[in-house]
Chain A
């Protein structure tokens, strides 16, 4: 599913690598908890996994495809087809309705539209079903996304990341803006939905208490040699 080898990355203008990972492999369908303190390169690693950033050296393969081997436009299309992404917050376009926000990936990826169509008849029906499953009733669907609470917005983002069953769902601290009760229900929901969709989940957080629910736990500080070098 994900196979990264000899991965090095440094931000433009920086003299030091911020990421240096010898090997990172994630099996298909697994849920992986990736934790590390702020500034340990979590977001950078996610950017590399999602093909938004390219490593300085080494390779990142997703589904057997080397991100670096694709042109910029192909990378965008490949990401649209195979990756769902959930941010910490502000996931939604405030001027679109809840339903249109969920349907966004289908605008850019024919593959995900086809899959959503195949699963539920129409992508719209698929989006509605997902919204139901994350506990957002039909009364909310036509509302502008900006009117929803933060917890509701994160659930919309989860529904969107799952629509059309992308092989990889990346969640970048999606619960950090939620209180404890909301956080737990969101976590349960996300894990369940990913399992049902057969999607691999890479979940990043600095909150280690969440790790228990996952198949695997990775400590970024342990696999990132650059961080070790810096700490020493």
Chain B
């Protein structure tokens, strides 16, 4: 077979124009296949990285997936709030180590605002149990002196160009209603968090009391007419929050997680629920999984089409190559040599295509990573292919080789039938 390999290479090189097009289509399909798989993995990884060290998420009774989505990913909203007193009672359960209440609903230029306690910065963990760290400044203290203080996620600061000491105002709700600005109570940036690659980056953090203060003169989502409470007057008011959206809970011992979950579900004063983040994430994958599979199936189809193109191109060129095959036969090549020559050509084109596709994925990762990070909060990593991705690449290669056996076999039959005198 060594005899024919060099000839196969030269022969392929002489038809490089056509083969380059085939190579391109194979590259494109492996780019898609690998890219979709890589994106899928990285998105999952990102989601899974978003919360760690939190044993339970507590909210009003409803869908557990919905609770996870708004409490961790700031997507969607809660149908019902939770009384803070209930949460404080739960926090006194002997198995609970800490409880961090979360209050959501306001925004700043499209970025969600999270009202919480200073304990959030202490207890919240992401990725591999990593704590939040400040890149600049400090966290808010939660007392009256620092009432209008805000700590920005890395992405908020980067995208909007905020620095320590800058002033900003919050919008009521998602900011979709004009005039629903808490313009009278501006906040001062006192801290900027380090980048985490999680929804924290896109979040503005204020204290629960601040959240109360800016809503003192609001009822049911609109400012009370004729009633104005200035930022200073608000300090004197009772700023103890009555209700929050959800809470994160950490346990002293993870083994107690199901008994605490049950205790919360059985809480009598209010209908509550608690979800395990991991379980809720699995539920999320179940929902997203169908879409992912559809995408992957589409990419697989593209791969099949491009390999069919490979076969078609090589087959179409075969008739013109009958002379070449007869010459090879005349100098001593056997039909099996001819078969291997075409199979080797297909395999080589597929291999180069797959390599080019892989390189393109790496390049696209590098180029697209900043945009994806800022626009969607998805952190792409440049990493060697994992087992699944290797399997995909291997499948494309194997399919390419098998596909090129088709023209190889055709050439084998042709050169047997033609012998030394092709009737072309």
Q: Which of A93, A96, A105 contacts B332 (CB 8 A)?
A: A105
Q: How far is the CA of A193 from the CA of B412 in the complex (A)?
A: 34
* Residue total for A at the interface (Cβ-Cβ under 8 A): 30
Asked if B324 is at the interface of the complex by the 8 Å CB criterion, the answer is: yes
Return the contact of A93 from the options B7, B329, B336, B337 (Cβ within 8 A).
B7
The answer to whether the Cβ of A121 comes within 8 Å of any Cβ in the partner chain is no
Contacting residues of chain B (96-119) with chain A, CB-CB under 8 angstroms: none
- Residues in B317-349 with C-beta less than 8 Å from chain A: 323-324, 326-337
Alpha-carbon distance A93/B11, docked complex (angstroms): 8
- Say yes or no: B327 contacts A87, CB within 8 Å: yes
- CB atoms of B14 and A94 under 8 A apart: yes
When A47-B421, A95-B11 are in contact, do A73 and B334 touch as well, CB less than 8 Å?
yes
Chain B residues whose C-beta falls within 8 Å of the C-beta of A79 in the assembled complex: 332
- Cα separation A172 to B3 with both chains bound (whole Å): 26
User: Which residues of B are found within 8 Å of A91, using beta-carbon distances?
Assistant: 327, 330
A85 and B420 form a contact (CB under 8 A):
yes
**C-alpha gap A46/B419 in the complex (Å):** 10
Which of B331, B334, B417, B420 has the most A CB atoms < 10 Å from its CB?
B331
Give the contacting residue for B327; candidates A73, A77, A90, A109; CB below 8 A. Answer: A90
The reply to whether B327 and A93 form a contact with Cβ atoms under 8 Å apart is yes
B419 and A52 contact, CB distance less than 8 A: yes
B73-88 contacts to A, CB under 8 A, are none
A76 touches B334 (CB 8 A): yes
A105 touches B419 (CB 8 A): no
Q: Are A80 and B419 in contact (CB under 8 A)?
A: no
Q: Is A15 an interface residue (CB 8 A)?
A: no
Question: Is the CB–CB distance between A95 and B14 below 8 Å?
Answer: yes
Nearest residue (CB) in A for B330 is: A85
Contact B331 A105 (CB under 8 A): yes
Tally B residues with Cβ within 8 Å of A: 26
Which residues on the A side are within 8 Å of B419 (C-beta)?
47, 52-53
B10 within 8 A of A: yes
Tell me, yes or no, whether A92 is within 8 Å of chain B by CB. Answer: yes
Alpha-carbon separation in the docked complex, A95 to B328 (Å): 13
Q: Does A160 sit at the interface, judged by CB under 8 A?
A: yes
B390 within 8 A of A: no
A104 interfacial contact with B, CB 8 Å: yes
Query: Residue B13 at the A interface, CB < 8 A?
Result: yes
Q: Can you name the residue of chain B whose Cβ is closest to the Cβ of A53?
A: B419
Residues A96 and B10 in contact in the complex (CB < 8 Å), given A47-B419, A47-B420, A72-B335: yes
Residues of B within 8 Å of A50, CB to CB, are 420
> How far, in angstroms, from A96 to B332 measured CA to CA in the complex?
16
Question: A11 CB to closest chain B CB, in angstroms?
Answer: 10
Complex contacts, A90 vs chain B, CB 8 Å: 323, 327
Q: CA–CA, A77 to B329, complex, Å? A: 10
Residues on A with C-beta less than 8 A from B14 are: 94-95
**A104 interface neighbour in B11, B323, B331, B336, Cβ under 8 Å:** B331
Question: Are the C-beta atoms of A76 and B324 separated by less than 8 Å?
Answer: no
* Interface residue A107 (Cβ < 8 Å from any Cβ of B): yes
Contact B420 A52 (CB under 8 A): yes
Q: Is the CB of A80 within 8 A of B421?
A: no
B331 touches A96 (CB 8 A): no
B218 to chain A, nearest CB (A): 80
Interface residues in B199-222 (C-beta closer than 8 Å to A): none
Instruction: Indicate whether A46 sits within 8 Å of B420 (C-beta atoms), given known contacts A73-B334, A91-B327, A93-B324.
Output: yes
Q: Mark A93-112, 1 if CB is under 8 A from B, else 0.
A: 11110000000110111000
**Does A43 make an interface contact (CB < 8 A)?**
yes
- Per CB-CB distance, the 10 closest pairs between chain A and chain B, nearest first, are A80-B332, A108-B332, A95-B14, A76-B334, A52-B419, A107-B3, A85-B330, A104-B331, A43-B421, A95-B10
Binding site for A on B (CB under 8 A): 3-4, 6-7, 10-11, 13-14, 323-324, 326-337, 417, 419-421
Beyond the given pairs A85-B330, A90-B327, A95-B11, 19 more chain A to chain B contacts, judged by CB atoms under 8 angstroms and listed by A's residue number, are A43-B421, A47-B420, A50-B420, A53-B419, A73-B336, A76-B333, A80-B333, A87-B326, A87-B327, A90-B323, A91-B327, A95-B14, A96-B7, A104-B328, A104-B331, A107-B3, A107-B7, A108-B333, A172-B420
28 A–B contacts from the bound complex (CB under 8 Å): A43-B421, A47-B419, A47-B421, A72-B335, A76-B334, A76-B335, A77-B332, A79-B332, A80-B332, A80-B333, A85-B331, A87-B330, A90-B323, A91-B330, A93-B328, A95-B10, A95-B14, A104-B7, A104-B328, A104-B331, A105-B331, A105-B332, A107-B331, A108-B331, A108-B332, A108-B333, A108-B337, A172-B421
